[in-house]
Structure 1
Amino acid sequence: MLEHRRRFLDAAARGLVLGGMAALWWPAAHAQPGYNVSLEQLQDMVGRKFPRNVPVAGLMDLTVQAPNLRLLPEVNRLGALMAVDAAGPALRRSHTGTFDVEFALRYEASDRTLRAHQLKLGRLDFPGLKPAVSELLNTYAPALADQSLREVVLHQLRPQDTAVFDGLGLQPGPITVTPKGLAVAFVPKPL
């Protein structure tokens, strides 16, 4: 009887300790544990990947500058407005324009990164170009978006960012765009 009571008290004490630790990550009774990334952190990481050069069928080269990211929580996506410089044999001089795109995010477990995917293209806008040349450039807009942003790393979680969750049998799951940044939920690992 004494041994049974001691085991019960040990289990209860462990439960209280683990429950107290869990409360640090699960502050509300039914809230999921998570990891937050601010817009500033995203902007800093993506800025390191630019400028990028995109050749357009031997006619010109487009240089895409670092995007200005914006949060779109109402559609759970990010937007990016990028300055684009166009120069080459098809143009008499260099022209500057903008390119707008929206995208979703996905988690890549192999390197613990948050990446852009599911791009929704906006238009290339070059105010100084003739309409026919602008239309030609817009023909290449999908390739430009694909080469400039698809699978671009927006954030990388460090091993210490996921260590506690790994120990609890959790892994990054759904990514939600909020008015302040990204919220990465942690979900149970598959068995």
Structure 2
Amino acid sequence: MTRPAAPTRRRFLLAALTGCTALGITVSLAACATSTFPFIPSHYTFSQQQVQDAVQRKFPYQRTVSQVFDVALTNPVVGFLPDANRVSVKLDARLASPFMPQPVDGVFTLSSELAYDAASKSVVLKSPSVDNVSVSGQAQAYTQQINAAAAVLATQLLTNYPIYTFKPEQLQFAGVNYEPGTITILTNGIRVQIVEK
């Protein structure tokens, strides 16, 4: 008695998918069923690789800080801190100073909140901070100055830096405007809620 149900279910599913395809919109079945609007997804999720690619474009980065340290930053590695709802960036650092006989290597670990910037339609890094600075050798005598230099660099380098920019068609459908809402850091991605404006 259950056999006729399967073809009926298949016909219904095919009709739903055909409805989406007929409008020339490529969406997942989950996106068809969202409560926001039948053809606007309720959220977008960006992978760690997408964020890595966006941050990578900023490097290598070189800067003289307070006329004391020449700092070169390379090899950013993006991570996610879901418990703190922040993105982390680990960087290789090379510091040179007239106060040190030779350049030293170290590692800076920074983290940042995310926010939506309506003017640029971008998800951007906000309020970056230095979580850890690790240097070796003679540079350890200048830990306080290096931490201060790292904080300046974090602000200059990452504040309002876009990691994803929405296309206009991603935030508009049938004359209705949408915008990103809550931004949540997951263990394997960043989930951005889409809400009606």
TM-score (norm. length: structure 1): 0.77
Using the TM superposition, name which of 89-98 and 31-40 deviates more. Answer: 31-40
Question: Identity, % of aligned pairs?
Answer: 25
Residue aligned with 1:124, SS: strand
Which residue in the other structure is 1:173 paired with?
181
Mapped partners of 2:66, 2:129: distance in 1: 22
Unpaired runs of 5+ in structure 1? 1-16
Q: How many residue pairs get matched?
A: 171
The CA distance in 2 between the partners of 1:109 and 1:66, in whole Å, is 30
Corresponding residue for 2:66?
Answer: 57
Who is 2:85 aligned against?
A: 76
For residue 102 of structure 1, the aligned residue among 104, 108, 111 is: 111
RMSD of Structure 2 on Structure 1 (CA) = 2.8
- The aligned residue for residue 193 of structure 2 is 185
1:27 aligned to 2:33? yes
Which residue pairs with 1:129 in the alignment?
A: 138
Q: Once structures 1 and 2 are overlaid, which stretch shifts more, 74-83 or 86-95? A: 86-95
Matches of 2:100 and 2:139 in 1, distance apart?
11
Deviation at 1:143, TM superposition (A): 0.8
Greater shift, 52-61 or 76-85, is seen at 52-61
Q: Secondary structure of 2:138's match?
A: coil
For residues 72 and 26 of structure 1, the distance between their equivalents in structure 2, rounded to whole angstroms, comes to: 31
Q: How does 1:33-52 map to 2 (within 5 A)?
A: 33-52=42-61
Is the 2:35–2:42 contact (alpha carbons within 8 Å) kept by the matching residues of 1?
no
SS in 2 for 1:93: coil
> Alignment partner of 1:111: what SS?
coil
- What are structure 2's unaligned runs of at least 5 residues? 1-18
What is the one-letter code of the residue matched to 1:41? Q
Give me the TM-score of the superposition, normalised by structure 2.
0.75
SS at match of 1:134: helix
> In structure 1, how many angstroms separate the alpha carbons of the residues matched to 2:157 and 2:105?
16
The Cα of 1:153 is off from its aligned counterpart by 1.6
Q: SS of the residue aligned with 2:137?
A: coil
* 1:115-154: CA deviation from partner (whole Å, max 9, x where unpaired): 1112232132112234322232123232121122222221
- The answer to whether the 8 Å contact 1:54/1:147 transfers is no
2:153: which partner in 1?
Answer: 144
Asked whether 1:155 is paired with 2:161, we answer: no
2:127 is matched with 118
SS in 2 for 1:114: strand
